[in-house]
Amino acid sequence: MSLLRDFISLFFPRLCAACDAALLSHEEVLCTLCWHQLPLTGFHKLDDNAVSRIFWGRVNITHAAALCYFQKGGKVQHLIHLMKYKGRKEIGEYLGKIYGKQLRDVELYRDVDVIVPVPLHRRKQRKRGFNQSEYIARGLSVSMKLPIDTKSLVRVTHSESQTRKSRLKRWENVKEIFVVKEVKTLQNKHVLLVDDVLTTGATIEACSRELLKIQGVSVSVVALASPVR
């Protein structure tokens, strides 16, 4: 099997998503060097961290963390751009698997019941072809052995991109655009809400406010990246 894989790689080489170096047979998506160069936060081990503080006084998030620091022009920005705009869905799933292995080994996330990706409006999802947060959630699901719920939380209003908006504008852009359609499915559950990049937290806050209206629900949050330190 490995001989066949090596033969195929002569014509269709597997390349690192971060640096385009040829991947070795045991490597997946990223080469070992690029993986070790990712600016990991370690926030998942700390109840009080820079990501969790984003939500203090705003919404009752149980735990919050991000896998990597987001740096402009860095490897993480490059990977997220490839995932979101170039259709490289495997990047989200791969990083989700890696993060899931880290999360399952810490007490803070051991009682999570279900994984919920931040939803896209159907118009945006149709245009992009997929929801990047769902692919991150798929990777988390594999490592954490938890179900994914993509039907209960929905985005009912199409809004503009958040990329260049201020904190206030981001909040105004997302308030009242999420609804929960399957309330009973999530009752008394610890929900792990998943996004790709967490900056001001406006989208997560809007989602969480709706989820927390459900009886017995608690919400924790993870993202692949955040610029906060």
pLDDT in tens, 188-209: 999 999 999 999 999 999 999 9
Q: 192 in helix, strand or coil?
A: strand
Give residue-wise pLDDT tens across range 36-89: 999 999 999 999 999 999 999 999 999 999 999 999 999 999 999 999 999 999
Q: What are the structural domain ranges in the chain?
A: 1-37, 39-226
- Give 39-226's CATH code, choosing from 3.10.20.90, 3.30.1180.20, 3.40.50.2020, 3.55.40.20: 3.40.50.2020
Give residue-wise pLDDT tens across range 155-173: 988 665 545 555 555 555 5
Token pair belonging to 167: 């904190």
Residue 13's CB: how many other CB atoms inside 10 A? 11
pLDDT band at 121 (very low <50, low <70, confident <90, very high): confident
Is the pLDDT at 105 greater than 70, yes or no? yes
Quote the CA–CA distance of 218 and 25 in Å, as a whole number. Answer: 41
Quote the CA–CA distance of 70 and 163 in Å, as a whole number. Answer: 14
Token pair belonging to 137: 């959630």
What does pLDDT average to over the chain? 91
Give residue-wise pLDDT tens across range 209-219: 999 999 999 99
pLDDT band at 91 (very low <50, low <70, confident <90, very high): very high
Helix segments in 86-175, DSSP class H: 89-103, 122-128, 132-144, 167-174
pLDDT band at 103 (very low <50, low <70, confident <90, very high): very high
Angle CA 33–74–9, to nearest 5: 45
Phi and psi torsions of 22, nearest 5°: -65, 135
